[in-house]
A and B are shown apart, each in its own frame.
Chain A
């Protein structure tokens, strides 16, 4: 395990030390290096299999010239025996080669995926805010797939076809140099033609793939939104639009049809012309006694071995290009430095008592000095066990406040302390494992209800899970689910309502028994029954803990030990509900407005 980590660190270090194409190839080599013996075995099998695949043509020549023509049956038998041996060797070693290429390639990509994933985990929240989720995910999936193509298909093809081509050239040259040269003049024509064809068709295929993706996306969307389509009676419009997309796709596909129709028959023609050429010149030479019929025969038999590798090699360039582009992006991601990391001398935070202190805290997003302050000059102390309700308009800094307490960001100025420890001097793990965070949108992972509740404490017993669910009032709806606590939820499971997700998030926070709780109250409306469940659940959750609540509900705010009113990143008022009303300030005005609305 540590071995592996060291290796991955080494990999990363080397990748950073170098740059450009060389760097990328070295990075690839580094990925493969732990499996060097298998890589070696893979190369050996490749070479042997290729040699065995090349053998039939010269053997056939031997059979004709030394056996058949000399009426030497014994030699013929020997040659056939050799032929069979090479055929069997080819089968065995191409099995090995296919297996090993697959193994090494897949293993290397597996390592790369895990490496990317664990690197992503170390990156701070700021990174995730700056980059779209889809882009990050595509590094782990699409780009690794493109690399898969490069490693598995590309590498094997390069070696196999390269060896094959070299082998054929050498054999033909030995058989008859002049005839060989006549054959080889086609090589550049075929190679360049193939290369151009791949270039043109790669563009065309990319276009059709995009078109198909558009069609699939459109289909998916109009099926998901079928109720809207029906409700507004817009079926005909969608059918027409869909037909239009199909037509676009057909037109894009036409290019590939035309390219294929021109290219493949042309290659076939070249192969017929080469046959003609060999027969003509070889035949005349044989007539004149300069060469043998066996040689002419061997040339014709070897033609396939000559054409296929050129075809395949000309295909490589596009694979190489997309693989390299993927490598670029992957290394770009690996180059991202985590912005927040534990100080080298960070200590484990002892069990939190719950005193939270803001000491001259100011914060702005981004590094440039001219950015607006999200929080400015915050100074206050929350005693252990107090519930603080943060109140203020959107953009007043409530969420930022909570993010700083969780150390998703470090303050730009000042310091935040828990029980007297500066957050920057303790390990992130020891901080967060004692902190419960309930986001506004109760994000659930796919898995069972039980797994989601026990997310922060995977070793929790069933009793503890049930107790937590009961405590926040989630037990009733869970037990009403088809499979109770074993029901699959999240993206791949049943859809829960916003209120139900909220209750599960409460239970998830409760079971971790956090010493400090950060809660972003949901704003969405739920039905009356769930509403009161959430209210009770929240009270159970905050009892006996220091709690920071981004509050939207009056009942929550009323019950808070302290209300902090934020405006433009500054604290404008603090106190209990009654105190603030008595002050007739900002909070009082908010309350008055609300009361008028409620009466309306």
Chain B
């Protein structure tokens, strides 16, 4: 109930409009109910044989029709605007909240789940608030008014002929309950079928290479059959309930004919009243159904609302004290003081007791096996996560005490599988500085060795990339994202396996360029290639979330067994024949 009431709260800013649309709906309904009544009176005047009274009543019907027109148009215009406004509010509210929540929230949520909150759940709430409430009010009002009119005309006949009404409402509601999951399941299976088709189209070379066309066809046929079965299940529900719901009101009509007919013969009912009864029942058929469906929709909206509130009610855990100062000026000194980090939902710490002090302008290489905590460590600097214990200081300021925006502005990360937005190459590079000129963008791209291939794209820097644009290869995306990081002119640059998909010679060129650009900035490098590691002035070896050793290359070769092992196995043996980037081939194959 409280969820329901909170849902109604979304209508509060539009209280006046809501009241208006209810009032207008009520007025329109009164007109609607008047029409059969007037029709009955008019028919009686035929029997009375008075022409001017017939004309009078029919004119009243026309007036009622016109009145209804005006009221309905106004109601629809107002209610439609409210509905759209609520939709915008809901969506912006949810999106704003998602952008406020800390990153670890997203680690534990599947994107698909969040998407379904923001689409399916939001849709059902919006539909209910925008239309459902009015439909329910309208239907109840119609049924009530018609029932009152019928009881006023003839109580016994009214009671008999209205008997099917509650059943129709209940059955319509049940129909909604049954058919909705069935239809959803059918859509789910169609989605699976689509995924199947997708896989077979993208993997067509593998299918052909292994000569497995027959088996894949069999699998596809199975998916198609699953869709068919579910569609038929949904069809059966529809075939059963649809006619049943149409049938029940006919019972009422038959009662009117049978009982009402006799009453007309007895003289206890006029033929006009008889007509009015008949017309009322016909008129009630659609509100009965609507009411049934809408009651179901109300339930769904409440359930959806509860799920949306789960997100809206979640307090952002990563907060900055109000009025926090910006990150103080500095050259990028990074200090970690006995830092512990355990990710939400994990028991094993990712980092334990890390103490590091990195002088400004140093290039630091982080080395260690997968899962040793390299990425966890660097994600603490821009405060993507908060430490569980200890503190992270940049130029002397605890990252938790400064304005988050100013902190992140000074730190740029490039990782091994960089994400590009569906926008032009220019916009992607200028992501952190949308006001950057084309010259600046090109300069950053040149430093990242990306300018060459970008020039060769169909529309150069204006080529649309990302999910809805041209697919770039891993190496190309990495270079675009390096350019993106460089353009941000950060105090601290983090390269997390950033050149893993770039071939060796291009990597050397990138590094040469980086050395210039990063002069005087602090750089963290995570890499597997010895050539990259050896470039660093300082190497930190991580093992199981602890610092196992640190020093320069020569010191570590002597001191650390772990480092020696990495060095011996990590000879730069690979990718020597590929002098030019492979992207064209990867994208074309």
Contacts and interface: CB of A to CB of B under 8 A. Distances in A.
B99 A239 contact: yes
B205 A272 contact: no
Contacts of B55: 280
Contacts of B238: 98, 102
16 contacts: A64-B261, A76-B257, A120-B200, A133-B198, A137-B194, A219-B115, A220-B115, A230-B103, A246-B87, A253-B87, A280-B55, A296-B46, A300-B275, A394-B578, A443-B202, A594-B504
A600 interface: yes
Nearest to A534: B574
Given A83-B253, A106-B232, A399-B589, 4 more contacts: A64-B271, A117-B200, A275-B39, A394-B578
B253 to A, nearest CB: 7
A61 B528 CA distance: 90
A490 interface: yes
A600 B531 contact: yes
Interface string B46-76: 1101010011011101101110110011001
Contacts of A80: 254, 257-258, 261
A106 B228 CA distance: 6
Contacts of B297: none
Contacts of B59: 276
Contacts of A106: 227-228, 231-232, 235
A244 to B, nearest CB: 10
Nearest to A437: B209
A393 interface: yes
A258 interface: yes
A271 B64 CA distance: 12
B47 A98 contact: no
B503 to A, nearest CB: 6
A325 B47 CA distance: 57
Contacts of A88: 247
B3 to A, nearest CB: 23
Interface in B28-54: 32, 35, 39, 42-43, 45-47, 49, 51, 54
A215 interface: yes
Contact of B77 (A120, A258, A433): A258
Interface in B226-275: 227-228, 231-232, 235-236, 238-240, 242-244, 246-247, 250-251, 253-254, 257-258, 261-262, 264-265, 271, 274-275
A227 B579 CA distance: 32
Interface in B568-589: 569-582, 584-586, 588-589
Interface stretch (B5-13, B334-342, B408-416): B408-416
Contacts of A265: 68-69, 72-73, 76
A240 B62 CA distance: 50
A463 interface: no
B352 interface: no
Given A80-B257, A280-B55, A273 B579 contact: no
Q: Which 7 A-B pairs have the closest CB atoms?
A: A272-B65, A257-B80, A102-B235, A261-B76, A437-B209, A233-B408, A594-B576
A125 B207 CA distance: 11
A523 B501 contact: yes
A106 B230 CA distance: 10
B88 A597 contact: no
Nearest to B428: A228
Given A455-B206, A598-B531, A553 B573 contact: yes
Nearest to B512: A600
B210 A456 contact: yes
Contacts of A2: none
B257 A63 contact: yes
B409 A233 contact: yes
B99 A229 contact: yes
B77 A219 contact: no
Contacts of A60: 253, 257, 278
Contacts of B580: 393-394
Contact of B271 (A222, A293, A429): A293
Interface in A252-277: 253-254, 257-258, 260-262, 264-266, 268-269, 271-273, 275-276
A432 B208 contact: yes
Given A272-B62, A293-B271, A117 B54 contact: no
B508 A260 contact: no
A221 B387 CA distance: 28
A99 interface: yes
Interface string B275-315: 10011001000000000000000000000000000000000
Given A268-B65, A524-B500, A228 B73 contact: no
A439 B92 contact: no
A532 to B, nearest CB: 6
B467 interface: yes
Interface residues of B, number: 162
A293 B201 contact: no
B16 to A, nearest CB: 18
Given A297-B275, A394-B585, A552-B578, A283 B58 contact: yes
B193 A141 contact: yes
B509 to A, nearest CB: 10
Given A272-B64, A279-B43, A554-B576, A429 B231 contact: no
A181 B575 CA distance: 86
B585 A395 contact: yes
A491 interface: yes
Nearest to A438: B209
Contact of B434 (A237, A492, A600): A237
Interface residues of A, number: 159
B27 interface: no
B566 interface: yes
Interface in A90-135: 90-92, 94-96, 98-99, 102-103, 106-107, 110, 113-114, 117-118, 120-122, 125, 128-129, 133
Secondary structure dominating the interface of B = helix
Interface string B100-132: 100100100001001100110000000000000
A233 B257 contact: no
A18 interface: no
Contacts of A199: none
Contacts of A441: 586
Contacts of B247: 87-88, 90-91
B232 A103 contact: yes
Contacts of B413: 231
A369 interface: no
A529 interface: yes
A531 interface: yes
Contacts of A554: 573-574, 576-577
B353 interface: no
A437 B210 contact: yes
Given A140-B197, A231-B408, A524-B474, A90 B246 contact: yes
Contacts of B205: 125, 128, 408, 437, 439, 443
A56 B252 CA distance: 12
Contact of B211 (A92, A266, A432, A525): A432
B45 A283 contact: yes
A293 B577 contact: no
B501 A283 contact: no
Contacts of B531: 597-598, 600
B137 interface: no
Contacts of B418: 228
Contacts of B569: 528-529, 531-532
Given A238-B99, A260-B76, A600-B508, A393 B579 contact: yes
A552 B575 CA distance: 5
A593 interface: yes
Interface string A545-564: 00000011111010000000
B396 interface: no
Nearest to B589: A399
Contacts of A77: 258
A227 B261 contact: no
B21 to A, nearest CB: 11
A437 to B, nearest CB: 4
